[in-house]
Structure 1
Amino acid sequence: MIALRIPVLWRDRRGAVAPMIAALGAALVGATGFALDAGLYYTASRELRAATEAAALAAAMNPADASARAGEALSRNGYDPAILRSVVVGRYCPDAATPADQRFDATFARCPGDGRTNAVRVQTEMPSRQFLTRVLGSANPIPELAATATAARIDEAGVGITSGILTVTNALVNSVNDLLGAILGVQLQLSTADVEALMASDVDAGRFFDALAERVGESGTYADLTARTVSLHDLMLAAASAADRPDTAAALTLVAGQVGTGYTVPLSGLFGLGVWKNMPVGEAADQPALRAGINAYQLLAFAAQSGGGSIDASDALSRVVSGTTVRISAIASGPVDRPRFSFGPAGETSAGTSALRIKLDLGLDLSILGIGVDAVPVLIDVAAARAEVSGIDCPDTAEQARDTRVSILASSGLVNAYIGQAPANAMTRPMPPLSASDIAPARILSVLGIITVDARAVAQPVMGNSGTLVFGPGGQGSIGRPGVPGTAASIGNGSQAGTLISSLVGSLAASNGLQVNVIGLCIAPLCSASAIRSQLLSAITAPVTGLVGNVVDPLLDNLLAALGIQLGHATLWVTGARCGVPVLV
């Protein structure tokens, strides 16, 4: 009978997992306990860091009473002040050349300035909540909770750079619609009143960033927001909600409707937020940080250029005068190596335009031979204009906002012009550097292969100008604030496109400027001062000289203004200034 039961028992699997549970139970319980304790640790660590940051901000408001203020802030957040391990006062170095982790200086030895205390570093530590892993003793992998936060009272300013608020004419409005429309791939239809409203008003930067964050669903920091790529449609609607004037809001809303949702803009090349980048989105409306202005037209023009659209307005921006055609055949821009709008402390806050290269084709009627030249290629190079906040003077007065002065180190860009054949990649984006040695003679005329004319010319460069502009009492400009745009100030050299092109005429007369060849051979009298060469030279230079004042300058002035650039100038705004705002650094 027993023998008959053995096969049955062998096949019976009931209770087979019991030994497995007995063997693995401890490991399963341990893994579950570790997961629970690890989850509690990361949650508690995040909460402690937030409380420590709040304590550092509170302490930075009055560094002389830093320890007491830090302890009070911890108590308000439900923590025992005894978790404070250290409260160190020092100075924050607002210097972009100093690594971020070295800008807090407790010794006052590295930081420039007057040595006043303006920063506090707070360290906290407390036991982590542990349940099952506690039994592991010294082998417990869950560490104690600890956090460090540094806050500083920072004097900050907002700076913007562009061509300035220009007189709005029909020609400028046409350039705005044609050029920006060409970049965006749409038919812009802005009226004179719309362009005036955009150019004459600011957008509240803080409200704009918060509105944009809400539209695109960003819940992190302002750095997270400005690392995004967003639609120009959303960007314009967010700006409209933060505009200072109803007519500006209406114009921005109109632009949003005309561009649609397909054109996207990477924000990283537009904005520099300095020490405000770590602030959670949504807080600008409640704190003075980032409450500076952004000119509404600059925002549109620079955002359009930052997107993927190519700048091509050759048809819309051609002009014909007395049988001579001025055609803009290509425009290229350089890399965006600094933001257009920037907010932060002195020493690490800067803004700039990108470099710009414009190719003109001048079609000429050479009456001497009864023929025309289709295109004399002219290149104009405009180097980037730059602005850096070099000083913020916050006086200890009751009228601090009115008495504050901001110093800006500004420079306008070097301007060059060439006639000749540029390298094939000269007009790519971003455009490569270009020098006079890169320009080769361009074939501008060939008569039955018997007579050929090659031209090469280099204008005398118009040097940029640089210096310090002061905004505030006694300065060249005034400081703006939300609802009240400040007064701009400019630095420049008065250069015009016409002046540049006129200087090219003299360069053409040089021995290597205009080359005339007959039957493939350079005949000495024709290559020097011969009558034929002189007549050809006059036939080319006379119409060019006649064009520059009446056609080229207005054409390019409006073109550059539409892009936010003024040839040879840097026009700056201090869009806001705040003294002693506590921020995490």
Structure 2
Amino acid sequence: MTLLLGTAAMATDVGLWYSKRRDLQSATDAAALAAAYKPSQAQVIAADLLSRNGFGADTPPTVSTGTYCDNASLAPDARYFTGVVTCPNAGYVATAPNAVRISTQTEAPLGLSRALLPDGGPYRTSVSATAARIDEAAFQAGTGLVNLNGGIANALLGSLLGTTINLSAVQYDGLVNTDIDALSFLDALATHVNLSALTYDQVLQSRAQIGDVLDATIDVLDRQPNLTAIAAQALGGLLSLKAAIVGNPDIHLGNLLDLGVWKNQPVGGTTSPTALQADLNLFQLVSFAAQLANGRNAVAIPQLGLNLGPVASISLVATAIEPPQKPFFSFGPVGVQVHTAQIRIQLLLKLLDTGLLGNGVRLPLYIEVAPGEATLARIDCGLEPAKDATVTVNAIPGVAAIYIGEVNSNAMTNFSQAPTVSDANIIDLSVLGLLQLVSLTGKAKIQIPSQGQPAAQPLTFYQPLSGEVTKHEPPTNEGIIGPTSGEGQRARAVSTGLLGGLGQSLYNGLDLHAKLLLNLIVIDLKQGNCGGLLGLVCWGNGQQRTSLLGILASVLGALDPLVDGVLKALGLQLGTMDVWVTGVRCGVPVLVQ
């Protein structure tokens, strides 16, 4: 009987102990899930919830915040790191905790078995729980997708792909204003490259030809039940590009897109409740893929089809200084980044180059644009994420140096050193090339921003209210979450320093030297009127009196739309960075341990 009573007492106490431990584990799990919504207030939230469930009064919980790395290569118990760390093979740097670990303990009630314990009890039990929440957003950075000049875009894309392209302005407008679903694009691409990939990450680790990329985008558009007029224009442009491809170069897809936490989703999972809901802009997709296919090669365009008058011509050489260090499109949690390209551009503009008046006006322009950088800095989901989620992106526009002058011959291919810039012979007027009348030499430089590196500028994106998108004109540091094809979606970071336009800034900084009448007279020129010795290079009467400096100012004034169009076709702008957030998904806290 004694043995039976002792066994019954022990069984009862063990059952009570397990029941108490189960209740404590449930309360700790609930506290971890609640605290994961706001890791910054984890201690307060956890203590409050445990207290409401009858725990924590005797021993406060131990709460730590850290980083949960969703990485299958790590053992499950090794995926939580205290503090903010860089997850192995994540491709991004976390900037804030995304997980909470809570450890609690309590006393277990004991009855008859108390006599069996050395000190008579009590018996303590402890548990822990780890919960993580990963919010994700899709964003991209580049140039403003408006007012593309068809001639410039055709010349640049054609040179990048080694072919001749003749897309119309209407077709470019269609590409600029059409987006496609990212996962649908990758699904179609996996089919065209005959990949038996199980996950999107395996697709991104492969290579695809430019023709396959275009075929995939065409398939996505073809599957749309009601194709809009704009999308139909984009489809026509894609078909024309596909027909013009020569050689069909290939690219590494991982240099184009980074899917972040969605990379482990199975191919074909576009209808999954947790699927990525974000878009890719067609023009940026095509132009960035062309830049990847070209690699580091210089793109030379002897003659741009621009209407600058009957006696004007422009030649251009553009070089990508480095391959992209980050993908052009990023999707993932806080910390992911995108970079714009690092580009060198050499422009030569000629005016009055008829031979009758010598070489006329010859304006060599050299531009070096450092890569810009955009980092997903914060996602605030609020109580109703579909209505009040906000996303903050820190953008750093690329620094640009713009010169008038002659650069060393290997400036476009030697990336180990900065170019040297010397005086250029800007204006050379003579009679039949024999009797020199006037020669203007000089150089100029402007820096964007005017001093040092630009600081990171926070750009905030909001959900559209009632389906309406607020229109605005850049520059602005606020945008609307949604496809790039809508109005008012982007936000823009702007560097200071380019005041009064590119041409005017260069003109103001010109250091000119004039040589007149067979070099018999040498003058250091600045802006001025036509008086004094400067009268020797002026003509006309009264208010119609004109100087060579006036002609030069007019030529420089034409640079702004020209340079802007060239850079837009390359996905860049001087001193600015446009950013879009094309989608946001607020994660639900889940128990991971």
TM-score w.r.t. length of structure 1: 0.65
Q: 1:62 to 1:356 in 2, by over 3 A?
A: farther
Cα deviation, 1:107-148, whole Å, max 9, x if unaligned, reads 4586864675389xxxxxxxxxxxxxxxxxxxxxxxxxxxxx
Q: Where is the helix percentage greater, Structure 1 or Structure 2?
A: 1
Q: Which amino acid aligns with 1:455?
A: T
Residue in structure 1 matched with residue 347 of structure 2 by the alignment: 360
Q: Which amino acid aligns with 2:522?
A: L
SS for the counterpart of 1:424 is coil
2:321 to 334, 343, 347: 334
Percent identical residues: 29
- What pairs with 1:417-436 in structure 2 (closer than 5 Å)? 417-428=402-413, 431=415, 434=418
CA distance in structure 1 between the aligned counterparts of 2:486 and 2:30, rounded to whole angstroms: 28
TM-score w.r.t. length of structure 2: 0.64
Residue in structure 2 matched with residue 57 of structure 1 by the alignment: none
- What pairs with 1:472-491 in structure 2 (closer than 5 Å)? 472-473=462-463, 476-480=478-482, 487-491=489-493
Cα deviation, 1:405-455, whole Å, max 9, x if unaligned, reads 1001112222322122212222228x55636xx212345559779999683
Q: CA deviation at 1:528?
A: 4.0
Q: CA deviation at 1:181?
A: 2.2
Cα deviation, 1:484-532, whole Å, max 9, x if unaligned, reads 89811222258879833333334433xxx4375999xx98x61646977
Give ranges in structure 2 of 5+ residues lacking alignment: 1-28, 35-62, 86-93, 103-129, 465-476, 527-531, 539-545
Cα deviation, 1:221-262, whole Å, max 9, x if unaligned, reads 433322333111111121233347552445434433332662
Residue in structure 2 matched with residue 303 of structure 1 by the alignment: 289
1:502 to 501, 504, 511: 504
Of 260-269 and 333-342, the range deviating more from structure 2? 260-269
Q: 1:237 to 1:496 in 2, by over 3 A?
A: farther
SS for the counterpart of 2:300 is coil
CA distance in structure 2 between the aligned counterparts of 1:499 and 1:340, rounded to whole angstroms: 28
Q: 1:552 to 1:266 in 2, by over 3 A?
A: same
- What pairs with 1:282-321 in structure 2 (closer than 5 Å)? 282-286=268-272, 288-308=274-294, 310-317=298-305, 319-321=307-309
Give ranges in structure 1 of 5+ residues lacking alignment: 1-59, 66-87, 120-149
Q: Which amino acid aligns with 1:173?
A: G
CA distance in structure 1 between the aligned counterparts of 2:242 and 2:30, rounded to whole angstroms: 41
The answer to whether the Cα contact below 8 Å between 1:61 and 1:153 also exists between their aligned partners in 2 is no
Cα deviation, 1:386-412, whole Å, max 9, x if unaligned, reads 2111001122x3x32232110011122
2:320 is the counterpart of 1:345: no
Q: 1:345 to 1:555 in 2, by over 3 A?
A: same
Q: 1:266 to 1:454 in 2, by over 3 A?
A: farther
RMSD (Å), alpha carbons:
4.6
2:129 is the counterpart of 1:186: no
Q: CA deviation at 1:288?
A: 2.9
2:559 is the counterpart of 1:552: yes
2:393 is the counterpart of 1:408: yes
Q: CA deviation at 1:354?
A: 0.8
The answer to whether the Cα contact below 8 Å between 1:231 and 1:265 also exists between their aligned partners in 2 is yes
CA distance in structure 2 between the aligned counterparts of 1:313 and 1:554, rounded to whole angstroms: 17
Q: CA deviation at 1:300?
A: 0.8
Q: CA deviation at 1:566?
A: 2.8
CA distance in structure 2 between the aligned counterparts of 1:485 and 1:214, rounded to whole angstroms: 33
Q: 1:187 to 1:518 in 2, by over 3 A?
A: same
Q: 1:151 to 1:262 in 2, by over 3 A?
A: farther
Q: Which amino acid aligns with 2:560?
A: D
2:448 is the counterpart of 1:462: yes
The answer to whether the Cα contact below 8 Å between 1:499 and 1:548 also exists between their aligned partners in 2 is no
Q: Which amino acid aligns with 1:514?
A: H
Q: 1:414 to 1:535 in 2, by over 3 A?
A: farther
SS for the counterpart of 1:242 is helix
CA distance in structure 2 between the aligned counterparts of 1:251 and 1:361, rounded to whole angstroms: 30
Q: 1:351 to 1:540 in 2, by over 3 A?
A: farther
The answer to whether the Cα contact below 8 Å between 2:151 and 2:306 also exists between their aligned partners in 1 is no
Q: Which amino acid aligns with 1:258?
A: A
CA distance in structure 2 between the aligned counterparts of 1:199 and 1:340, rounded to whole angstroms: 16
1:200 to 159, 171, 177: 177
CA distance in structure 2 between the aligned counterparts of 1:151 and 1:233, rounded to whole angstroms: 44
Cα deviation, 1:456-481, whole Å, max 9, x if unaligned, reads 42323231574111111498212126
